[in-house]
Structure 1
Amino acid sequence: MRKIVHIDMDAFYASVEQRDAPELRGKPVVVAWRGGRSVVCAASYEARRFGIRSAMPALRAARLCPDAVFVPPDFTRYRAVSRQVREIMLTHTDLVEPLSLDEAYLDVTENKTGLPTATRVAKAIRDRIREELHLTASAGIAPNKFLAKIASDWRKPDGQFVIQPQEVDAFLLPLPVGRLPGVGKVMGEKLAGMGVETVAHLREIEQPLLEQRFGRYGLRLYQLARGIDDGAVSPERLTMSVSAEDTFAEDVLLGELAPMIRRLAEKTWAAAGKQERIGRTVVLKLKTSDFRILTRSHTPPVPPASCEELTRIALSLVDRVGQGAEVRYRLVGVGLSNFHEADDPQLQPELFEPENG
């Protein structure tokens, strides 16, 4: 039986800002760029009381809380703090799998410090984060990654929650099915059409029917409803790409996509900022009304250095779509791929142009 811990930093970006600027403490802090198309990267718990959430348009956040303090994100600083958190985790186990700058899985079935339980390990990590970095983290402890991630959200902020193996059904069955990974709005509506609103309802559906309706993800749903997740904690897990996409209620023409592309580029830039590695290739994804998928990409000499640059490249890719003006689209997405370490020489600009001849 594995002992898995999921550590999740509390309102990470906003908490770093409040830690480093005492005048922000106790105030509703929103980490976001100013601008009509900007989205929220993070919100302090004071701001969340007004209903402000990550990925929300910044203009809406300002309307919800006119007194909110907007701070532009500083991903270089957040990455540095994330590395300090990782060093604390690695004193307990080498099996640390980062998901982003602010969260990670740890397999502490065996741990370096000889602590008798995973609960004690999680508490020790959280205590050091508080004492050394002056930040707080929440933790979930469970027999697998899926359950540990759900559990870490149970006692936020600055808490931890344990799901013992014998308690899995009692914890899992009453949950809304939307708490399962991969069940977003569209999938939730499909399941609701089958009479599925809770995990208990989902467990009543046989595996063949789920696979018939949802393909490979149907098998995943069948397993999650039973608390099954065999995925191992993988310390070598590397980010390959990040993206954001949107499906429209009604199909749109290519010339109408610019506002959506700008908004999705903002979301993608915020998601990319959570990664320790840096993406270099900008990708535009489109799905036509007849379900054909088109992708266009561009790899600049150096990675996009700002959200504005990412947006500019994504918009320029529209000119390379090469479809008729009458073609309509049901989905658009913006992504970053081709990730490298931040100090990779490939990411550095050339100091001199090569001589001709």
Structure 2
Amino acid sequence: MPYLLTGAQGQAGRRLLSYVVSLPLPNTDAQLLAAVLAIRAARGGVGNVTGTDLSTLRLEDARAAAAALRGLGWQIDGVLFDGDPTAAVAVTIPDLARETGHPLPVGEKLRSRVSGWVARTLTAKPVKKLPPAARLAGLFLAAHGTCDSAGQIPADLPEACRAALPDLLAKGFLAELSQDRYRLDEAVRHLSGVRPPTGGQATRPGAVPSSWPQFNADAWARWKSEATPALRRHVEAVEHCALCALPVDRVAQAFMVAPRPMVIAKATMGAYGKWKGLHPDRGSLAAEFTVAFRAEHGHGPSYYQLTSGLGWGLDRSLGAYVVTRLVKNEWLVTTGAVPWTLRPGPAAQAQGIALPKARTEAPGDVPAAV
């Protein structure tokens, strides 16, 4: 079956689950409900849910789970339990309505895809009748799993979910399970959130096939050996990033070949004018995305990874222009022409959106923030 998530969407799914388990909730009932509600309300802090949706979750005590979320300030009307089960009820999550410091910075398209993935995973045949702890565990392992190899059990998997892992193996959600490793069963690998390389090429949707005929492994090794220590660390973080899974010649080309000057067509500038009017929060969302991306990947996003990860659905020329405007307006900053170095700029930092304090580098080194 076709994969439900791109690499960027898988990252958003993992960020959703990390956010949910960071909340002070009493059990997996409340955590599972929080996951469904949070992704629906990720854009603007308000999402719709029906009584039928609630029933599908098969919570052991749905009212108690809702009460636990209300204790965090989430606004869940009691009509969800007592009214028409098919009627949409708005749920408000104040934490997700913030303009700065948003814990789930996603675009609408990305939000919708991740929400659909959550629903499909929870209703997959091997898990749909299991208790909440097992289904929440299924979400975690799908989000962190690959389509063709064993993965590490995520460190933030709740203990109740860890105890339910044998049930996922018995029901065929997992093909293998050891103390700290697992492999998704073939029947559910289309739910996996990590896109690994295959045959030397990236399987990440949207990746451009390698076409640089001048690549030479020895020349690449020499280039890295002559780089400053900080730049070399950054290069190797990108080159060996399992989440990006980029071919080595693609990485080498990005660093070794000077980028061509950007030529902006009038049509692109016109499209940008219309697009920016529909995205007034583009600066803060982009800056927050770079912080979250860097925390997971160990390096900043590329222009494409930024625009696609936010679900903006832009072609490459418009996407590149959008990012250059974000840099020009100081929402983002990049280290010269060094790729994969996007991070929050002065305008974002003024709103409290910043990376953890970087190390002090020796003069002439690429800053640690790369």
- Could you state the TM-score of these two structures normalised by the residue count of structure 2? 0.26
Higher helix share: 2
- Could you state the TM-score of these two structures normalised by the residue count of structure 1? 0.27
Higher strand share: 1
